[in-house]
Amino acid sequence: MPKFMVLVPGSAESEAGVMPPTELFEEMAAYNNQLAKAGVLLAAEGLKPTSAAAKVRFDDTERRTVIDGPFTEAKEIIAGYWLLQASSLEEALEWVKRAPFGGGVTLEVRPIGSMDELGLEFSPELREAQQQLRQQLGQ
């Protein structure tokens, strides 16, 4: 069954570590319970502000540069996510439209690629190694 990543954008408030009101936590818990009971929810987490984060830039094949947060591009900040499993993008969108948000929040819903969609460059040996890794992870 297809999987979808739902990205929740950050805001000035989430970056400042401001917690949402209790009512929103309650609404979110009820929404997550609906997703779980329907067998759609695989994971859901909030992320800490970018002040607690770091990025790794790959300068070339050997050099890596660590960039400590906070990060200033607010439009690129993700405050949380859901990992959903649904029969189609349309079904995933129907679930996402029920999320307890308002105020112009825009959630991004992205299909997660599968091995079946990869080309010939993803050889049978690589497919087998990926399958073994998924078995190790219990997927």
pTM for this one? 0.84
Question: pLDDT by residue for the chain (139 residues), tens digit each?
Answer: 999 999 999 988 899 989 889 999 999 999 999 999 999 999 999 999 999 999 999 999 899 999 999 987 766 799 999 999 999 999 999 999 999 999 899 999 999 987 777 777 778 888 788 888 888 888 6
Looking at residue 4, its amino acid is F
4 in helix, strand or coil?
Answer: strand
Q: Which domains does the chain have, with CATH numbers?
A: 3-112 (3.30.70.1060)
Q: 69-102 burial string, b = 16+ CB within 10 Å, else e? A: eebeeeeebebbbbebbbeeeebbeebbeebebe
- pLDDT value of position 72: 77
Residue 55, Cα to own-chain centre: how many angstroms?
Answer: 17
- pLDDT value of position 125: 85
